[in-house]
Structure 1
Amino acid sequence: MGITSAWSISAHNDDFIGTLAPRLLPLIAAERDDPFARERWDRWCREPLPDYRTWWEPFGRSCQREADSLNSFLELTASGEHVQKMYDGLSPHDDFSLLTDVWDLVTGAEDIFISVHSKEFALRSFFHAIGPDRALLLPGWCGNFLLTSSEVRETLPAVERALGFTPKERAEAENQDWLAYHDDEESVLDGPLRMWRQAAADARGLCGVSVTVY
């Protein structure tokens, strides 16, 4: 059975970021502090994956390590059970929803980057395309973060380094981003940096979440 995923980055004023903080920050911390997640992250840093076109070739016994590395990366970049609660609802006693209480409050298309894909995780393609060295420069954990306006300004130089490409580097990254885009759809290689720059210029915070929609 397939899934549909969404990775979003939305801009908000600091008051709204403050209302999200007690809900989202503990969920991100739980994802980051999970020992299995840390092990998967460390493995990806040690063993970056080859061209994605080779991933689905049959793995023989001699390739078990490569198969294990791939499976570890796939688990790392799937939506985690903790942040997923922002979409599913935190508990029977709390009807707060990422859909209605965050995304639906964004009034301008320029105030959100969202990449929705069937049978794919946008964050997964993004991470593979940029590689672990660049991903290490990004705040938060696996595409999930909550930043005040001052934190956006503080992290912008690192994000610029992570997502600034020479023409050759850009071509290489695009070659490893397997997502299909419509003409009016923003690439995962463009949207995040646009949002950081815009939020920094507008003195706004950012909320990033990677979830399974259904």
Structure 2
Amino acid sequence: MGFTSVWSISSHPDSAIAELAPRLALALRADRAHPAARRRWEAWQRAPLPDHRSWYADREHEGAIDSFRALTRPGEHVDDVCNGITDPAFHVMEDVWEPEPDTADMFVSVHRKDHAVTALFHAVGPDRAALLPGWCGNVLLTAAGVRRTLPDVERALTFTREERARDWLDHGCRDEPVTDGPLRVWRSAAAAGRGICAVALNAG
């Protein structure tokens, strides 16, 4: 069965981050604290995966690959908040995306049958993924948090040509790659004194 996933990173004034925090910060912490998620993260930290082009035929690493995909797909609690399941009065479209119509302040990656965070984390590897704040693509930071974390984000998301080749999602000519968009928004938010909200969700 097919699915569509969305990963968005958007910058907002601290007042908007404060309004989002009661819903999203608790959900993010719940996904991060889940015992299965922690086990999957630690397993990936111990044993990075082979090149993604071998995954469908690789029986030796099949369990590790499945664990990594489960780790990097949208977290259950954040996904439920963003899709209005936890609170029917809240939805990511109306409460996160529409208040910030300037595309310069957003990165959005939409894909069928795959997840953008999976591609990015495989591209950067576990050591650099550990530098990224939040949990597996989900982040909620004030302007001060954005400024504080920018150096680590720059270290995590600055790539050689070979490292870029490990991002396997086909963006075509219209979409910004997952290896470019997150750092662009982080730098823009830091320069403008704004916070960041990043959410990964299943859209259908």
1:82-161 to 2 correspondences below 5 Å: 82-91=77-86, 94-161=88-155
Instruction: Report the aligned-residue RMSD.
Output: 1.1
The 8 Å contact of residues 8 and 113 in structure 1, kept in 2 or not, is answered as yes
SS at 1:113's partner residue? strand
Unpaired segments of 5 or more residues in structure 1? none
1:155-170 to 2 correspondences below 5 Å: 155-165=149-159, 170=160
Find 2:163's aligned residue among 167, 173, 177. Answer: 173
Unpaired segments of 5 or more residues in structure 2? none
Structure 2 CA distance for partners of 1:160 and 1:183, relative to 1, 3 Å: same
In structure 1, the partner of 2:190 is 200
Size of the alignment, in residue pairs?
204
Larger radius of gyration: 1
Q: TM-score, normalised by structure 2?
A: 0.97
Runs of 4+ in 1 over 2 A off after TM superposition: none
**Structure 1 residues 136-145 or 97-106, which shifts more?**
97-106
The 8 Å contact of residues 89 and 96 in structure 1, kept in 2 or not, is answered as yes
CA distance in 2, matches of 1:74, 1:183: 26
In percent, how many aligned pairs have the same letter?
Answer: 50
Specify the code of the residue in structure 2 equivalent to 1:104. E
Find 1:210's aligned residue among 195, 200, 203. Answer: 200
The 8 Å contact of residues 28 and 140 in structure 1, kept in 2 or not, is answered as yes
In structure 2, the partner of 1:17 is 17
In structure 1, the partner of 2:40 is 40
The 8 Å contact of residues 87 and 213 in structure 1, kept in 2 or not, is answered as no
CA distance in 2, matches of 1:160, 1:94: 36
